[in-house]
Structure 1
Amino acid sequence: MKELIQTIVKPLVDFPEDIKVDAIEDETRITYHLSVNKADMGKVIGKQGRVAKAIRTVVYAAGSSQHKKLFLEIGE
């Protein structure tokens, strides 16, 4: 899943080397923390959060086969 998130985000940003995805797994959920360069935050979030929502939709759909709830948090 980390590779999927990186593949989606890499073409959107100016500093692809600063992309970092961490996963925290509990017994009922998996939380992915996406970190990008501060200058790229607007590109990843998009107008009114549309890009972030689209990224989350793809990640949630890809992870639907897992029996845990997925969350994607975006930060610096």
Structure 2
Amino acid sequence: MQELITQIVKPLVDYPDAVKVEMIEDPNHITYNLSVHEEDIGKVIGKKGRVAKAIRTVVYAWAGSKQHKKIYLEIVE
């Protein structure tokens, strides 16, 4: 899942080497923390959060078929 998030985000940003995805797993859910270079935050979030919502939709759809836990994607500054 971390590779999927990385592959989606890297083409969107100016600093692809700064893209990092960290997984935190709890008994009931999994949280993926996405961090990018501070200049790329706006590109990942998009206008009115549309890009972030699209990324979350793809990740949740992919994970929903593979995992039996609730998945969260958070964008960390």
The normalised TM-score by structure 1 is: 0.98
Q: Is it true that 1:36 corresponds to 2:36 in the alignment?
A: yes
Please list the CA deviations of residues 37-69 of structure 1 after superposition, one character each: whole Å capped at 9, or x if unmatched: 000000000000000000000000000021000
Q: Name the amino acid aligned to 1:13.
A: V
Match of 2:25 in 1: 25
RMSD after superposition: 0.5
1:41 match: secondary structure: helix
Shift of 1:9: 0.1
Structure 1 outlier segments of 4+, above 2 Å = none
Shift of 1:29: 0.1
Match of 2:60 in 1: 60
Please list the CA deviations of residues 20-50 of structure 1 after superposition, one character each: whole Å capped at 9, or x if unmatched: 0000000110000000000000000000000
Q: Name the amino acid aligned to 2:15.
A: F
The normalised TM-score by structure 2 is: 0.97
Instruction: Please list every run of 5 or more consecutive structure 1 residues that lacks an aligned counterpart in the other structure.
Output: none
Q: How many residues align?
A: 76
User: 1:58 & 1:69 partners in 2: Cα distance?
Assistant: 14
Shift of 1:75: 1.5
What is the percentage of aligned positions where both structures have the same residue? 68
Q: Name the amino acid aligned to 2:27.
A: E
User: 1:2 & 1:24 partners in 2: Cα distance?
Assistant: 11
